Copies of this chain bind each other. A is one copy, B any other.
Amino acid sequence: MLNMSISTVSRALKDHPDISKETKEKVRELAEILEYEPNTYAINLRTNNSKEFGVIVPAISNYFYHSFISSLEEEVRRYGYSLIILQSVDDPEIELENLKRCKQSRVAGIFVSITSKTEDIKPFLKVEDQDIPIIFFDKVPAFEACNKVCVADSLATQLAVEALITKKKKKILALFGDINLSISNKRLAAFEKEMAKMGSTISYTIDFANSAKAASLAFTKALEESKPDAVFCMSDEILTGVMKVIQKLAIKIPNDLSIVAISDGFIPQLYFPEIAYAETSGFKLGKLAFSRMMTCMAGNSFVQELTIDSVLINGGSI
């Protein structure tokens, strides 16, 4: 319509320095009028990349992941990217399918939190070989040579325990999640290290629960048996189980019992008094994961494991 070649138009539209001002103006005007939209499929084909990242998580409806995803989405949007969300429903097979989908969609990069049963991470490494960077977050493989961003399990545990110690608690009940999850073990190890520091001045009991209900049960039992003066809850799931019993028995917090948790903060502030917690923020982790991805995509980067800080958020529960 403007009597110029396709290449001129293409260049004009992307503000190429070779094109004269007047031409650019004309092209832009007509594009506006015609409501021209570049065909993303063609661009992707031609440039062999797309402005999309894949995100593979065990489940979106999780205390932690949706805040991670939300924060990540905010970040990538600024850079013109979008997020393709895939759930593995904690099934390694579906996880593998999802990975394949990402590969086939030729996403620019993949964020993945592995399932609790994922054993073989070779498929992930293979995708990386094809120049699709992978950032593992939260639930990361033990394997060394991959990019990971994690919450500070040890630090968070330490902060939570220290808060209890400061308040001179003597009999701590520590409740952890599924014993098979690496996160449980990391936090358990950190907990025991803190206890070791204190020597025999503090006694403690440890139990595991793989659901809120199990946590309620474990807590109820411990209440009778070990009569703790403080409870350490490894996760929101554990905390909700404990808090339900506390409401049921009308236990006075913090007079009868102190509570401290590790959480991203949503659940703790539902209660009165609000529960003190060591923060593990999905929000912050999202930002970190993104910046790590950008570095990887730039290409000049070593594989490494990054950790976000944790802080203790005070509540009236200790």
Q: Which residues of A contact B (CB under 8 A)?
A: 37-42, 44-45, 48, 50, 52, 59-61, 66-67, 69-70, 73-74, 77, 82-87, 89, 94, 101, 103-106, 240, 243-245, 247-248, 250, 267, 270-272
A248 contacts across to B, CB distance below 8 A: 272
With A77-B87, A244-B270 known, 9 other A-B pairs at CB within 8 A are A37-B104, A41-B50, A45-B45, A60-B70, A60-B73, A77-B86, A77-B94, A82-B86, A82-B105
Asked if B40 and A42 sit within 8 Å, CB to CB, the answer is: no
Chain B residue at minimal CB-CB distance from A67: B61
| A82 partner, pick from B41, B48, B74, B101, beta carbons under 8 A | B101
Shortest distance between the CB of A71 and any CB in chain B (Å): 8
B52–A60 touching, CB < 8 Å = no
Among B44, B52, B60, B240, point to the contact of A66 (Cβ < 8 A). B60
Q: Is the CB of B60 within 8 A of A87?
A: no
Pick the residue among B44, B243, B272 that contacts A41 (CB under 8 A): B44
C-alpha spacing A89/B77, complex, angstroms: 12
Instruction: Say yes or no: A40 contacts B270, CB within 8 Å.
Output: no
Q: Given A60-B66, A84-B83, A89-B74 in contact, is the A240-B270 Cβ separation under 8 Å? A: yes
**Looking at the complex, which one of B38, B39, B50, B86 makes contact with A73 (CB distance below 8 Å)?**
B86
State the Cβ distance, A104 to closest chain B Cβ, in Å. 5
Residue of B nearest to A60 (CB): B70
Closest to A239 in B: B270
Q: Is the CB of A270 within 8 A of B250?
A: no
The 6 closest A-B pairs by CB, nearest first: A41-B45, A247-B272, A41-B44, A248-B272, A66-B66, A60-B70
Which residues of B have CB within 8 Å of A45?
Answer: 39, 41-42, 44-45
Contact status A85-B85, CB under 8 Å: yes
**In the bound complex, what is the Cα–Cα distance between A214 and B250 (angstroms)?**
26
Distance in Å: Cβ of A82 to nearest Cβ of chain B: 5
